[in-house]
Structure 1
Amino acid sequence: MTQVFVRATQGTDPRSKQDWRAGCSARKATRRGRRWLGSSLGILLPLGFVAVGCDKQGGDGPAPAASSGQVAVAASSAPSPAPSESVAAAASSLPPKPEDKFPKANTEGCPDGMVRVTGNYCKGMVQTCKKHHPEYENAKEKRKVSERCLEYEEPSKCISKERTPLDFCMDRFEYPNKVGELPRVLTSWLEARQRCELEGKRLCTEDEFNFACEGEDGKPHVFGYVRTDKYCNMDKEYVMPDHTRQMKHYDACYKDERCKAEMDRLDQRHKIGERLTCVSWAGVVDMNGNVNEWVELPGKKYPDRSGLKGGWWGPVRNRCRPTVTFHKEEDYGYEAGFRCCSDADKPLVPNPNAQAKP
């Protein structure tokens, strides 16, 4: 089987190509007889890749009847607490719910596990870097490293003549949107879209991701204008993938001893809900770092509808605005995940024809 490497668009990080060569994409053969393609991971320029249900408490059933050998006990003369006081006392004794610790967010009109994102989006936002990372400064002519900016000018500048009103729902966390689980990776854009449709949702668009991440102010990172690893899972030491063999899709990888061992060696994901400090203005968690996220590029046609945003745990840009358009719809990587979106004020209608296949 011949492997072909797809040429990166301008601005793609060469180091990212190595990632996808070893850990990611195999392009499925199409009906036109195309070969399988392996691609390389673009972590640069266009860079980018839950709610918890609680069991109801019982205790409302009838009390057991006394046996014939039991003696009735007279009631105490002390007054019984008012019903409201009893309810309050019982509630205060319950352990806190996981969602009680979630960042504040507007959830009105959105399904469980999603937050509402509303405001006026600037499509043309200028973010000027004041100081780059020394690694980039020393090698920017060769473009062999990711363009990491340490500090941006404040504020960002909107150059669009008009802003676009946006109103939608977005998963609070990365898929599967369940606290305590690891974000799903080794997943293609096509599979990600299918998994969202199975829940009655859809992939987020590029503009939706931008706005939920940066807000109306257009902040480069969810935490502001100065780069730091204090809040998000990012800037971890780069681990070179094994380029001799291709990794499998997520579920198959964990059933394969060699693939699982390689994934365990590379993996620096944080569990969902582990780092609630990495939160955007809208209350969405882990939009920078942790795992890259697939988005849809409206107006594009197959196989170019796919984009990657947000960055991952490695030493890459990890910003809101850049989008990697190099990787195609069947591509997948060890750091490539996603989250889902939906329209606000509309019930979820799962697509019965969707199939979550790699």
Structure 2
Amino acid sequence: MHTLPTTRATQPKKARSGPSAMVWMVALAVMGVVLGAGGGYIWLRLRQSQAAKNASVPPTPGPSAGLGATLNCPPDMVPVSGGSFKKGSSKEDQQSFGSSDESLLASVPVESFCVDTLEFPNKPGRKPRVSVSWLDAKGLCDAAGKRLCTENEWEKACKGPGNARYSSGDTLVASACNTGTAGGTPGTLAASGQFDQCRFNFGPSDMSGNAAEWTSTTFPGSTEDMTIKGGSFDSPSDTSRCAARKRGATTHKDANLGFRCCANPLP
């Protein structure tokens, strides 16, 4: 018997169905778009990062920013930076000391300035010049290329950045400054800078006690009398508070009354 030849082994297999060439082209196009977008995003981020590195950055203020130490003043003067400070005294102080002439505590702006470290003639170890009228004090400051301090300047220099009550600090320290006692026992005029503890914050010495000091400010409510600050060696310590003040005629002289000078910062 003859077996009929089979064609199964010799017949070509049909190709499996798969994506057409058109589908592959679309897929490749989409992948190109995605990769292109991703690459573009990365490139853009790199450009932004580089631009940020190249951008000029403003310098960060150092530790002395905002302090008087950044001002240019003569070597015998203390720099005081401008800004607002708390001028005057609290209601409690005014009630405690009967200080009706003092202004009520309020924020007051002041420009930067320089103030003498010591009372005139601003020489360590020498007694301040006293028994000087306001007119003479103004003339002596002018002759030195300076000027009398305004009341606001004087008080800010006395209080310092912490708005202390006394030039020695917020709390009165016994014998820190050259003042009289509550019982009326007077002291004597001392050489400038002798009371080492009677300076605080900005650093001017003897702003509380020793010699009282003229300012260039007319006393409130007066058209002629000038403002005197700082207390003195023969007055109670409460009168040496930075906010305390009294009045005096421009021709007035006293053995406990002197002055110190202020000036604008140097260029």
Structures share fold, TM-score greater than 0.5: yes
* Cα deviation digits, residues 194-238 of structure 1 (max 9, x gap): 111111111000000010011243221123333233311112574
Rg larger for: 2
Give the secondary structure class of the aligned counterpart of 2:234: coil
The yes-or-no answer on 1:190 pairing with 2:135 is yes
Query: Residue 277 of structure 1: CA displacement?
Result: 1.3
Query: Residue 267 of structure 1: CA displacement?
Result: 6.8
Relative distance call for 1:174 and 1:107 in structure 2 (3 A) is: farther
* TM-score with structure 1 setting the length: 0.48
Distance in 2 between residues matched to 1:231 and 1:267, nearest whole Å: 13
Q: Between 301-310 and 183-192, report the one with greater CA deviation.
A: 301-310
Distance in 2 between residues matched to 1:299 and 1:158, nearest whole Å: 17
Distance in 2 between residues matched to 1:267 and 1:125, nearest whole Å: 26
Give the secondary structure class of the aligned counterpart of 1:122: strand
Distance in 2 between residues matched to 1:328 and 1:211, nearest whole Å: 24
**Which residue of 2 is the match for residue 111 of structure 1?**
74
**Which residue of 2 is the match for residue 223 of structure 1?**
168
| Percentage of matched positions with identical amino acids | 30
Relative distance call for 1:158 and 1:128 in structure 2 (3 A) is: closer
Relative distance call for 1:302 and 1:338 in structure 2 (3 A) is: same
Instruction: Read off the aligned partner of 1:204 and give its amino acid letter.
Output: C
The yes-or-no answer on 1:120 pairing with 2:83 is yes
Relative distance call for 1:158 and 1:319 in structure 2 (3 A) is: closer
The yes-or-no answer on 1:334 pairing with 2:255 is yes
Instruction: Read off the aligned partner of 1:287 and give its amino acid letter.
Output: M
**Which residue of 2 is the match for residue 320 of structure 1?**
242
The yes-or-no answer on 1:294 pairing with 2:239 is no
> Any unmatched runs of 5+ in structure 1?
1-104, 141-145, 148-156, 240-265, 347-358
* TM-score with structure 2 setting the length: 0.63
Distance in 2 between residues matched to 1:299 and 1:271, nearest whole Å: 29
* Cα deviation digits, residues 92-112 of structure 1 (max 9, x gap): xxxxxxxxxxxxx83841113
Distance in 1 between residues matched to 2:253 and 2:178, nearest whole Å: 21
Pairing partner for 1:281 from 194, 201, 204 = 201
RMSD across aligned positions (CA): 3.2
Relative distance call for 1:202 and 1:128 in structure 2 (3 A) is: same
Give the secondary structure class of the aligned counterpart of 2:141: helix
Relative distance call for 1:331 and 1:213 in structure 2 (3 A) is: same
Pairing partner for 1:181 from 110, 126, 148 = 126
Instruction: Read off the aligned partner of 2:240 and give its amino acid letter.
Output: N
